[in-house]
Amino acid sequence: MGQGMSHTARSAMFAPLGQPGRVEAVTARLVDAITLGLLSDGEQLPSEADLAGLFGVSTVTIREALVALRQQGLVETRRGRSGGSFVKAPGEPTLATWRDRLSTVSLSDLRDVGDHYLAIAGAAAKLAAERATREDVERLELATEDVRTATGVAISRAERQFHLEVAAAAQSPRLTHQEVRLQGEHGGLLWLPFATADEPRRAAHAEHRAITAAIARGDGDLARKLTEEHILDAIDRLAEVHFDLLAP
């Protein structure tokens, strides 16, 4: 997937925290940005002073957050004239890893995640239809194509990036950040079924095309309806996988 994420999605990651500057909050925001691909492998982060200004926190908080990221292996710091902090993107979790995680989650928790995600993604789709620029629509079309061409566990990543682009097209930094937070916590799990068979992937591609078309036409109600149906289908398939994993 070579398109990279939109400027709006990336900007949401560096928006002020809106709360007292805690190391954990800054660390979580940067972890999400790295694991979701908003920051690319090898990309240089802004300076400590610039990051502090973007997040609205002290440079001490940024410095401590970078230490935590280095300990997690997500950032490396280089000294010298061309030095700085650089992203070390993690490898994509295997399908077996996500299945192991799914086996420890209750069905009621899955439904609760689905309800939360329905509210965020549905609202984002409706607003995207009302506010998206031509460039936003083009990015959605590229993200839709990524779902069609991705293979293996990369399909899950393509799904997550599509919905991040929808949120970015809604032109709401707060809503985009909510989408990023949910994707960071549950995205790989939510879209797990699409990495297990060709038929769900083909269905997802068709659903993405329909959502993108509704957004391009400015039909917010339809975009929201199609997005909610898309997520409900994903939750239903995830429940089926959950039952299979727990079956004797």
Same domain? For 129 and 75 the reply is: no
Same domain? For 67 and 118 the reply is: no
Same domain? For 130 and 176 the reply is: yes
- 55 is a domain residue: yes
| Per-position b or e across 87-105, b if 16+ CB within 10 A of its CB | bbeeebbebeebbeebeee
- 2 is a domain residue: no
- 19 is a domain residue: yes
Q: Which domain holds residue 121?
A: 95-246
What's the per-residue H, E or C state across 52-95? HHHHCCCHHHHHHHHHHHHHCCCEEEECCCCCEEEECCCCCCCH
Q: Does the pLDDT at position 148 exceed 80?
A: yes
> Across-strand partners of 78?
84
| Residue at a domain's end among 87, 121, 146 | 87
- 67 is a domain residue: yes
Q: In the structure, what pLDDT confidence band is assigned to residue 1 with cuts at 50, 70 and 90?
A: very low
Same domain? For 130 and 210 the reply is: yes
Whichever domain contains 23, its CATH number is 1.10.10.10
pLDDT (tens digit per residue) in 152-190: 767 778 888 899 999 999 999 888 888 888 887 777 677
- 56 is a domain residue: yes
Same domain? For 205 and 132 the reply is: yes
- Average pLDDT of the segment spanning 194-208: 72
Burial class (CB in 10 A: 0-12, 13-18, 19+), 106: exposed
Strands of the chain (E only): list them: 75-78, 84-87
| Residue at a domain's end among 48, 67, 87 | 87
Same domain? For 222 and 110 the reply is: yes
Please give the structure tokens belonging to residue 52: 């502090």
CB 94 within 8 A of CB 154: no
When divided into structural domains, the chain yields a total of 2
Q: In the structure, what pLDDT confidence band is assigned to residue 212 with cuts at 50, 70 and 90?
A: very high
Same domain? For 100 and 192 the reply is: yes
- 1 is a domain residue: no
pLDDT (tens digit per residue) in 17-42: 665 558 888 888 888 788 777 788 89
Whichever domain contains 134, its CATH number is 1.20.120.530
Same domain? For 42 and 115 the reply is: no
pLDDT (tens digit per residue) in 99-129: 777 778 888 888 888 899 999 999 999 999 9
What is the number of alpha carbons within 13 Å of residue 30 lying toward its C-beta?
Answer: 34
CB 213 within 8 A of CB 119: no
pLDDT (tens digit per residue) in 135-145: 999 999 999 99
| Residue at a domain's end among 59, 87, 115 | 87
Under 8 Å CB-to-CB from 130, ≥6 apart: which residues? 218, 220
pTM exceeds 0.85 for this model: no
pLDDT of residue 40: 83
